[in-house]
Amino acid sequence: MKHLLKKSRLLPFYLALGMLILPTMAQAGTLGGTVVVDQTGSIDVTFQGSDAGYTSTLYFGGQRLFSSNVDPGTSFTLHGFQAGQVLSFSILVENTQNEFFAGTGSLNSDGLAHAMVSNLVGDEGTLIGFEDLLGGGDKDYNDLMFSFSNTNIVVQNPEPATIVLFGSGLLGLAAWRLRKKHA
């Protein structure tokens, strides 16, 4: 019983450690995040590369921007954005004619998120990587990669795993306080 009590004393330490690790892991990329404009003005769109067997074309609001067969670094500027505006973009996989939208996946035919978004270091914008196969494919999110300047990520719907981890941490903390109160 004393051994169990010693372990339970470490519970607050483990909970605090978990609260520090989870946000760090989340910065690696957000599957299904929404990209919004930071400041009123223009944004630069830059093709970062592709590691796919298929050719995909990036669309923004129905406008064709570029295909995955252009040179990395190809860039241009889009004008007329308002701060807080949500950017709606998608890819069309030329070989299969499948279209995948960024965001939660509710617009995709398989119901899955197909874009991983990450904030670039130093407020330099947002990096987006698409998966181009139905059912999530190989989940590498490098089949068409591009970046936007003057943008940021907003997570509208947290992943279920994050909710479960957070909830179990709260339950553990409540159980620890209850046990401490009765001891």
Question: If you average pLDDT over residues 164-168, what whole number do you get?
Answer: 57
Kindly state the percentage of the chain with pLDDT values over 70: 66
pLDDT of residue 33: 84
Question: If you average pLDDT over residues 98-125, what whole number do you get?
Answer: 88
Partners of 70 in beta bridges: none
Please determine, for residue 165, whether its predicted confidence score (pLDDT) is greater than 70: no
Q: Are the C-beta atoms of residues 29 and 141 closer than 8 Å to each other? A: yes
Ramachandran bin of 94, using left for φ above 0, alpha for ψ from -120 to 50, beta for the remaining angles: alpha
CA-based end-to-end distance of the chain: 13
Please determine, for residue 12, whether its predicted confidence score (pLDDT) is greater than 90: no
pLDDT digits (tens, 9 = 90+) for 144-160: 999 988 886 665 544 55
pLDDT of residue 129: 94
pLDDT of residue 19: 44
With CA atoms as reference, report the closest residue to 82 among 46, 42, 44: 42
Q: Using CA atoms, how far apart are residues 98 and 103, in angstroms rounded to an integer? A: 16
> Using DSSP, how many helices (H) and how many strands (E) does the chain show?
3, 12
Q: Are the C-beta atoms of residues 134 and 54 closer than 8 Å to each other? A: no
C-beta atoms surrounding 166 within 10 Å: 14
Q: Using CA atoms, how far apart are residues 156 and 3, in angstroms rounded to an integer? A: 43
Provide the whole-model pTM: 0.68
Residue 117's identity, in one-letter code, is V
Q: Using CA atoms, how far apart are residues 183 and 177, in angstroms rounded to an integer? A: 10
pLDDT of residue 26: 38
Question: If you average pLDDT over residues 129-144, what whole number do you get?
Answer: 93
Q: Sketch out the chain's domains with CATH numbers.
A: 30-152 (2.60.120)
Q: Are the C-beta atoms of residues 156 and 34 closer than 8 Å to each other? A: yes
